[in-house]
């Protein structure tokens, strides 16, 4: 089963080995102030789904995508938008209530990367980077067939690469100039407000309340031929293309896969993106890395991605041990740098 814990809804579904979401349902994430009550409702909902689909005894593992989820510890750590405390022992609690079923957690962008690798556009690829363009910009990095988790479980925050060193926009993370502040849906809306203020150009966007403009409004205007709206996409595509080129220098991926609402803007975004991507690449990488769109259906993607982690919990790795301490990592000896 795959579970996707979002700020509003928790969606869960039963997925078969071929990547078909057989059934899914959801509960409200924020209904319970107490985490144990939430887990009980989630468990009851999942059990209902299992019963209704004759899947009793057939569930092999559970994967969960959640904000600030740490793959190593199975916890959600310091989530900004969940009320259950700083450390939430998600995998441990759910595994226990399901009688010891393997449970693994990671953040939603990593889950999306696993979903793409197991069921989508990255099937057969060993090196790729998944970029999710939603309210924020998330990423999952796969190197040599494995997701990169880093030493603390939180690797792959490429949305917070700084793309503007001077006078950059304030980002939700508290720093300035992050990619996310420009190339997310909210970033595009911010660009629209900026452009409308500094330019005199006529635009249908001027008919809207400036504070209420969304990336969808900008998209609709651009599709209708609005020049300023197209310039907003050119600006967004350029920044994203340049940033993706820098990411290639890190892991030389076969492909960068784009997912999320903004990725569906088609050539409005992709043309300026690809142009600036190719010319910003370190020469040795030019012409080698494809920019492609996710092949996962948006409504299924979160549950599919999380379920792929469930398979991983069962087959590829040991079930993460929940008393894992970061200090357990063996540090490389000083010799290894020579």
Residue 221 interacts with Zn ion (CB under 5 A)?
no
The residue written with tokens 């309210």 in the block is 135
User: Which of 112, 181 has the CB closer to Zn ion?
Assistant: 181
Residue from 178, 183, 188, 240 binding Zn ion (CB under 5 A): 178
Residue 160 interacts with Zn ion (CB under 5 A)?
yes
Residues in the chain: 338
Q: How far is the CB of 155 from Zn ion (least distance, A)?
A: 16
Residue 137 interacts with Zn ion (CB under 5 A)?
no
User: Which of 13, 156 has the CB closer to Zn ion?
Assistant: 156
CA distance 337 to 43: 48
Distance of CA 163 to the CA centre of its chain: 19
Residue 163 interacts with Zn ion (CB under 5 A)?
no
Residue 173 interacts with Zn ion (CB under 5 A)?
yes
Q: Which stretch binds Zn ion (CB under 5 A): 60-68, 168-176, 193-201, 238-246?
A: 168-176
User: Which of 120, 187 has the CB closer to Zn ion?
Assistant: 187
> What would the x/- binding string for Zn ion be over residues 260 to 289, using CB under 5 A?
------------------------------
Q: Which stretch binds Zn ion (CB under 5 A): 94-102, 177-185, 219-227, 260-268?
A: 177-185
Binding residues with Zn ion: total (CB under 5 A): 4
User: Which of 171, 183 has the CB closer to Zn ion?
Assistant: 171
- Report how far apart, in Å, the C-alpha atoms of 275 and of each of 132, 201, 239, 252 are: 20, 25, 11, 18
Q: How far is the CB of 171 from Zn ion (least distance, A)?
A: 3
Phi then psi dihedrals of residue 279, to 5 deg: -80, -15
Residue 230 buriedness (CB in 10 A; 0-12 / 13-18 / 19+):
middle
Q: Which two tokens stand for residue 29?
A: 């994430």
The beta strands (E) that lie in the chain are given as 2-5, 9-15, 21-28, 62-65, 69-70, 75-77, 87-88, 103-106, 128-133, 137-143, 146-147, 255-259, 290-293
CA distance 33 to 84: 6
Residue 171 interacts with Zn ion (CB under 5 A)?
yes
Query: Could you tell me which residues are beta bridge partners of residue 62?
Result: 103
Residue 93 interacts with Zn ion (CB under 5 A)?
no
Q: Which residues in this chain contact Zn ion in the complex, by CB under 5 A? A: 160, 171, 173, 178
């Amino acid at each position: 089963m795959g579970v996707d814990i979002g700020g509003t809804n928790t969606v869960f579904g039963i997925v078969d080995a071929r990547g078909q979401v057989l059934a899914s349902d959801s509960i409200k994430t924020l209904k319970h102030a107490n985490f144990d009550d939430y887990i009980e409702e989630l468990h009851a909902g999942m059990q209902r789904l299992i019963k209704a689909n004759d899947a009793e005894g057939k569930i092999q593992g559970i994967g969960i995508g959640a904000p600030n989820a740490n793959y190593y510890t199975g916890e959600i750590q310091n989530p900004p938008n969940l009320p259950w405390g700083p450390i939430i022992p998600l995998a441990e609690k759910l595994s226990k209530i399901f009688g010891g079923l393997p449970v693994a957690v990671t953040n939603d962008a990593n889950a999306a990367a696993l979903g793409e690798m197991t069921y989508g556009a990255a099937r057969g690829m060993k090196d790729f980077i998944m970029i999710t363009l939603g309210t924020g910009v998330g990423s999952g990095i796969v190197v040599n067939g494995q997701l990169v988790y880093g030493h603390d479980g939180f690797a792959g925050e490429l949305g917070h690469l700084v793309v503007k060193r001077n006078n950059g926009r304030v980002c939700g993370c508290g720093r300035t100039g992050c990619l996310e502040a420009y190339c997310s849906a909210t970033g595009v809306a911010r660009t629209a407000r900026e452009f409308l203020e500094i330019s005199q150009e006529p635009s249908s966007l001027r008919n809207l309340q400036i504070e209420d403009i969304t990336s969808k409004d900008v998209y609709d205007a651009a599709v209708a031929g609005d020049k300023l709206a197209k310039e907003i996409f050119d600006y967004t595509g350029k920044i994203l293309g340049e940033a993706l080129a820098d990411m290639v220098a890190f892991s030389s991926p076969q492909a960068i896969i784009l997912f999320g609402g903004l990725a569906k803007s088609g050539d409005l975004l992709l043309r300026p993106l690809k142009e600036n991507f190719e010319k910003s690449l370190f020469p040795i990488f030019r012409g080698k890395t494809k920019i492609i769109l996710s092949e996962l259906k948006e409504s299924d993607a979160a549950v599919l991605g999380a379920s792929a982690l469930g398979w991983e919990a069962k087959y590829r790795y040991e079930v993460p041990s929940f008393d894992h301490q970061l200090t357990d990592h063996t540090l490389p000896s000083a010799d290894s740098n020579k």
